[in-house]
Amino acid sequence: MKRLMILVLIGLTIALSSNHSVHGINVFHEITVENVNQIEEIARASVDEGWLSIAFQPGGQMLAGFEGLDDDARVVIFSTPSLERVEAEIERQWLYALTYSPDGSILAVTGAYGLIEIFDAETFELITAIQSDEALLTVTDRMHQVAIDPTNRYVAVGYGHPVQYSYGTYIAQVIDITTGEQIAAIMRGDDLGGVESASAVQFDESGAFVYVTSWEDILYQIDVETGEVIVLVPEIGTSEKSSNGNRIFTLTNDGRIVYVSNNVIRLLSDNGIQDIALDVEITSLDWWAVSSLEAHPFQPLIAISYVIPFEGWRSTVLQVWDIDKGELKLDMRSPEQTFARAIFSPDGTFLATRGGGIVQMWGIPADE
């Protein structure tokens, strides 16, 4: 009987760890196409004003973000899904973007003046600091996007400023983390046509390619091995070009590219370009209408956060779309702008949002 009880407990532990996340005695369902409209808030934490970048630790129990602006910025770490603060002494000036490596072992933090710092994700000790040759730029030419490849060998960064015009050398770079050497780059004003800032940067699952979008509605692909840069989706015509900053993309788990352009959510695959949603109410409110676009790690779902006018100011909208059927599955509004950023957890169980001085964790508790 004792042996049987041990085996039952082992089996239950494996089932919980592989299919659900555990917070205390609570178990949560994976977010799916069928149940995403049932998500509810399970935790929240107050944060000081800071840039909105947040990142889940793959294979771990942490969520990273920023507090403070300009020369009083710092990294904050929360345990998940409780959002209890974890001690982490990473205080720097001008912090704008962060990400974990796909294996969750390192944390990359970037900001202004061409500085990339790589930290141990558990101890928060600095592993290496990479100084790009963009070091002499002003703070308007910040590294606003960052990604790490699956082998932890390369880091990709996107340059620019979402408000002010940037005059630096690069739109994006791929850099060897160990040597600090540039592997590939997209230059501003070269024959590819780009002159503005990067709005999103991401490695594909294999690490062979880096994808970059610019605020000019151009979607680039960088071959990491050869350094070749090609344009997958060129700049759209001037008569159609939007001016509200809704130029952003994400990669799905099956290698498709979902991007937003001119108020339309589009899907780029081997079959060409397909319009998913034509009635997204993104308006030309200001310079940064779409603030995030994230794909679910397993389901054909994307979460999009954007801004709409509201009572003379603005409100944030969080929507989740089924990209296979083009169906809107979830629509939430926040006049307090708490949905300025939204990301799925690596296991697909949680959705984290940031904005309005609040970080929130959303999920679907299992029936007791």
Residue 290 falls inside a structural domain: no
Q: Cβ distance 352 to 63 under 8 Å?
A: yes
pLDDT at site 233: 82
Beta strands in 36-112 (DSSP E): 40-46, 55-56, 62-67, 73-79, 85-86, 91-92, 95-100, 106-111
CA distance 19 to 279: 35
Q: Residue 69: CB partners within 8 Å, gap ≥ 6?
A: 49, 50, 51
Helices (H) and strands (E) in the chain, counts: 1, 31
Greatest Cα-to-Cα distance within the chain, rounded to the nearest angstrom: 75
CA 302 to chain centre: 12
Amino acid identity, residue 132?
Answer: S
Tokens (6 digits) for 298: 């397993």
- Helix (H) or strand (E) segment spanning residue 52: none
Residue 95 falls inside a structural domain: yes
Residue 174 falls inside a structural domain: yes
| Cα distances (Å, whole numbers) of residue 63 to 203, 304, 337 | 20, 19, 20
Residue 260 falls inside a structural domain: no
pLDDT at site 295: 96
pLDDT at site 279: 54
Please give the angle made by the CA atoms of 361, 339 and 314, to the nearest 5 degrees.
155
pLDDT at site 242: 45
Total domain count, the chain: 1
Domain span at residue 120 reads 48-235
Residue 90 falls inside a structural domain: yes
Residue 199 falls inside a structural domain: yes
pLDDT at site 26: 67
Residue 140 falls inside a structural domain: yes
β-bridge partners, 35:
none
Residues of the chain with pLDDT under 50: 1-25, 135-136, 236-245, 284-287
Residue 276 falls inside a structural domain: no
Q: Cβ distance 154 to 207 under 8 Å?
A: yes
Digit-coded pLDDT (tens) for 45-60: 999 887 788 999 998 8
| Cα distances (Å, whole numbers) of residue 297 to 102, 125, 349 | 12, 29, 10
- The pTM (predicted TM-score) of the whole model is 0.85
CATH number at residue 207: 2.130.10.10
